Structure 1
């Protein structure tokens, strides 16, 4: 084979390699686009909720309270009769069965929504106001186009009479879609139209905060000691090997560890962000130590030598010169580690955060859920309303992960020093 033929063969190999690389990137991006499009198409409707515009008359005989009543009196008052009296007027029903069918079109929160309206203005006795009351999940999915209405009645959760009422509401412009504040303000619920990620969002925040407070200082100090002060011997070699091994341990192993030590032995409260944060800190610790040590090692030896040459101690040269220069890489590694911890599910399931929790936690020791666990819980539910809630929660989780990764890249590019 001549020199020209060998050169042509090498060029063809380079072109094939470039083609294979570009094809791989294109296929990967295609799958990402398909995944994101599928999630957004299913989850975007969760940020809207269907409401039914209803006129509500506050009858004093039914409420048994006066105008100007205190908040305690309003909270103790029974608004159930007021709710029933006004909801059955939304459509001219003929008998009790039709009234029951009509009431099923409203969510179970209708009474609370009416009470909240009176709490905002306690001088409504004898007055009629217009409220947008949340519709039931079935009507919500029907109005969003996610519910097939052409099926036989026995295969639908909505009866033919309820479809007639729905068409009446649409014709009279009494049904619309508003921003779904319940999705962000409420905790979990058995009713899809009332379920929200409020509890999971706060639980994830507490968990990541505890994880950061525990893992970051320990990881940084351990990295500084191992890289700058520890003698190079078999003991430190053993520690380094185990740090690398711990970074590759499956997360569920940390859940088993927390289950045995934190819950069974120390008996910390179950299903709380406190236990979740400690578990995630143990898991994140080696993932922060490794990039932190790499950042310390990347600082040129001349920085250390220059500091020592002007009379600085070893401690001063490390903490006054080396550590600040290694901080960008340390922070970016920490943020990426926290982003990985934010998406963990298996260890949190083992410590009980898979429990059904309605209330939003007010402290790290209150029972709670987390965003990835909430996705796991809703994905097992059969109602169509939970399908969009699951996809919307994934959208929120992906948004947080993307933002955290962008922050890591920004910090590295802004503060990183380049050495010639």
Structure 2
């Protein structure tokens, strides 16, 4: 490669992760082409909960989760649904999930999640300031709700983890809670204020802002599907569905839950699944909410975002091709109405998207172990928006040969 010429980099996936990396690398002098079969930000990045959730890094893979899974699966209104027809394909994934639940492994996974999340808010602020979008980040935090002491004790594992890693929180009694959010039901006896868990005013507009910043620096977008790769001793190009082959010195795959299909074309399979998530966007909620709220015992979240109130939560494992089951979104709305008795569900839309999930709950941010010049940034699960600014900086360091601010060994692609 000619060191005097800009590196030609192709980034596959124009969601929040891909767009953030594209912006950062273009800023650093690379000649970047974003490739996506859809418009920027129209996948999972369009419908997330708008949360910079810096405290939500507890690995799902843990012994306490395994104890609850049978009850969850038997409950049609439970927080997890697994499609019976898709279950056979999930057996290897769940085997890795079980392996990741060992206490010694869980400790490492917590540390890997914390290393990303403790940087996320500052990195997000810096990125938003560069994009002239600082006002899109809320100043209020998130409230975690508990109806009684039993629910609070059930969440103690997560609270203890926050203590170990030094994340801020404040325990509120019922009076202090309702002084902050009068709309919350009187049936909540205790809450935790998570002051650094902020909300983005509109997550889709953030991706569009990233894309516009990227384009303003000279970046380009190709709307096409990737069908293959050109390579000899290293990557040299990407084949598109329109028949064109685009030359590349570097290729970064960050197509969310669809990344595994692309990695197979490079003979580098990865245990990446989709945790299908649902939201209901209510544009006439009949109330105002200053904080986002979560109710751990009922597995849902409410965020004031995108010009209204967004309700989401639960996990559905049914693959990339099954039709949406909007009964899942209706369940979370019913639960939101328990927390917010004055909530009116008018002028609303329902949405389903694909969260990319590895069995150990932490992402891959890594050079390929098999093809020089290929990199991966995927598997951020529920934290794609949270991690986006940090991931962009770390991946750009990795690609450009700068020592990343944290050790990226825990996020390597060949760890499974």
State the TM-score, normalizing by the size of structure 2: 0.23
**Higher strand content, 1 or 2:** 2
State the TM-score, normalizing by the size of structure 1: 0.23
**Higher helix content, 1 or 2:** 1
Between the two structures, name the one with larger relative contact order (CA 8 Å, sep ≥ 6).
2
Q: Which structure: larger Rg?
A: 1
